[in-house]
A and B are shown apart, each in its own frame.
Chain A
Amino acid sequence: MQTRRETLKQSALVAGLMAATGLFPQYAHANFNKAAFDAKNMAEVMKALGAGAPVESKDVTLTAPDIAENGAVVPVGASTTLPNVKRLLFLVEKNPSVLVGVFNLTDSVEANVATRTKMGQSSDVFAVAILGDGKVLYAKKEVKVTLGGCGG
């Protein structure tokens, strides 16, 4: 059985190899866009992702409850029937880290993802779609939280 050190060395080696081949662009820059996850509002998030200014649109659907009994687990879904969607994002306006997650889509998946986010307090939640032509569209909803979910 591999030791932890060996496993880590191996993954670092593999990551390096993948980056070198250029075949896996998502891992090319030892990934994780820290700037995007450190951003304090939607505008900053978009700037960090190199995306344009977001516009509210009825073509993007955000599924979220009106009230979350506990902010630790708030189900959220983002979907759109628009074609050529490159990324779907979730943002929670009042969270310390506004950007929750980025989903990079290929043609093999529908522009429809769902996950669960933490919410520290009642806040607007955003589902953002970034299209191939650069358009950034969003839907938003206020989700009330009865008990904040970041405190533990």
Chain B
Amino acid sequence: MKKTRALALIAMAGLLGTAALAQKTAVQSIEEYRAMLQDGNPADLFEAKGEDLWKQKRGPKNASLEQCDLGKGPGVVKGVFVELPRFFADTQRVQDMESRLLTCMETLQGFSAAEIAKTPFGRGEQNNVTALATWISAQSKGMKFNLPQGHEQERISYEVGKRLFFQRAGAHDFSCASCHGQDNTRIRLQDLPNLIKNPGDGVGFAAWPAYRVSNGQMWTMQLRLNDCYRQQRFPYPGFGSDATIALGSYLGVNSQGSASAVPTIKR
């Protein structure tokens, strides 16, 4: 949107015959920088690892994840990312991609989901969950978000997520909405998407998992939410907790019809 307006301004300046060329704005320069990084996203390294892990026999049960049901049947990976979180009959709860991976890693491979959930990001099996999530989400690249809301629990998850989004708490009295509840805001040079409505293709929920160049880490939505809580000075949410899944439902349903750009590259 901003680029089109900027281009229009440049065109007008040209028409008026002014010698002064429209100067590149800082935001345009940042967009150029981001474009230069699109080809050769280190997320590819995590994707490759995730694909191997999906097929590898691992864990106490020495089994692969190839029978894991992520919402579209056992072993189906294409298209699942844009329909999560959703309700699963076998666990009788709404689950997002990461919590569903833990379910499969436990039931199929014999890992302890609770243990993995307690493991800090960047350690042990958490690294494998990140790699798997990167690969799985990449299989839906370009597809449009279409979270189901047919089951009552899916609708409840959305409503809970909405409440959590607007709930002000913590030492700074922040809510998610403090940063993500309006148009045209930014922190320094980073634009903040308005997540109360559909922020468009490849933005917000449609942009994570992402490779963050600032720390060279691959961040899934669980880690992104965890860090948002840290930034708001909230207590850390549990990994794959109902709260984080509910927020995922809210963000995902709001992104209905937008295309996933995942995995992306971010600062």
On A, residues with C-beta under 8 Å from B are 65-70, 72-73, 75, 116, 146-147, 149, 152
- Chain A binding surface SS class: loop
Cβ contact within 8 Å between A65 and B189: no
Knowing A146-B188, A146-B189, A147-B267 are in contact, say whether A70-B213 is a contact too (CB < 8 A): yes
Residues of chain B with a CB closer than 8 A to A149's CB: 214
B211 to chain A, nearest CB (A): 9
Per-residue CB contact flags for chain B residues 178-198 toward chain A (1 = under 8 Å, else 0) read 000000000011100000000
- CB of B34 within 8 Å of the partner chain: yes
With CB as the reference atom, state the residue of chain B lying closest to A115.
B40
- CB of B37 within 8 Å of the partner chain: yes
A127 to chain B, nearest CB (A): 15
- CB of B16 within 8 Å of the partner chain: no
On B, residues with C-beta under 8 Å from A are 24, 26, 29-30, 32-34, 36-37, 188-190, 213-216, 267
B195 to chain A, nearest CB (A): 21
With CB as the reference atom, state the residue of chain B lying closest to A66.
B29
Closest 8 CB pairs of A and B: A73-B213, A67-B29, A65-B33, A70-B267, A69-B267, A75-B36, A66-B29, A70-B214
Cβ contact within 8 Å between A72 and B36: no
Name the residue among B29, B190, B213, B215 with the largest chain A CB count within 10 angstroms: B213
With CB as the reference atom, state the residue of chain A lying closest to B27.
A67
> Could you tell me the distance between the alpha carbons of A70 and B189 in the complex, rounded to whole angstroms?
11
Knowing A70-B214, A147-B214 are in contact, say whether A65-B267 is a contact too (CB < 8 A): no
> Could you tell me the distance between the alpha carbons of A146 and B29 in the complex, rounded to whole angstroms?
11
Residues of chain B with a CB closer than 8 A to A116's CB: 37
B236 to chain A, nearest CB (A): 21
Cβ contact within 8 Å between A66 and B24: yes
Cβ contact within 8 Å between B32 and A69: no
Cβ contact within 8 Å between B215 and A152: yes
> Could you tell me the distance between the alpha carbons of A152 and B267 in the complex, rounded to whole angstroms?
13
Knowing A66-B24, A67-B26, A146-B189 are in contact, say whether A72-B213 is a contact too (CB < 8 A): yes
